[in-house]
Amino acid sequence: DNLAQINKKIIISKGGFDEMLCRASIKIITQDSMNMVYESLSTKGDTLLFNMKYLRKNKVINQMNELLNNKQVGYIEYSEMVKGLNKIKIHMQNPHHEVFAEVEKLAYKLKNKLKLS
């Protein structure tokens, strides 16, 4: 709480992770969790990925690359300018992206499949 008092832009949530995710204007997420990325994309605000090195390509890596190529997520780029001096650049996602609303889509499909409407 002291940190929040010092810097008014920091919000310390008393609720759970879901509340913080919904309220955050920018979410920075590791790209190794597809569920976390899609949860973030299903809420308002920007989603940025930490660019992580991977040992081999798999379906998660392919999906993250597709999101990056389509600018549906932003990313943080690290590059070495000279030995010992790194540059960090933030590439924001497309500002006109639509919230994924994955939960609502799944509920709609289940409702139709079970013929509840």
**Looking at residue 92, what is its pLDDT?**
93
**Looking at residue 74, what is its pLDDT?**
94
Q: Among 48, 35, 46, which residue's Cα sits nearest to residue 77?
A: 48
Asked if pLDDT for residue 52 goes beyond 90, the answer is no
Q: What is the pLDDT of residues 55-69, one digit of tens each?
A: 888 888 888 999 999
Q: At what angle do helices 102-113 and 34-41 cross, to 10 degrees?
A: 90
- Identity (one letter) of the amino acid at 116? L
Q: Can you give the residue ranges of every domain in the chain?
A: 2-113
Mean per-residue pLDDT over the chain, rounded: 83
In this prediction, residues 91-107 reach a mean pLDDT of 79
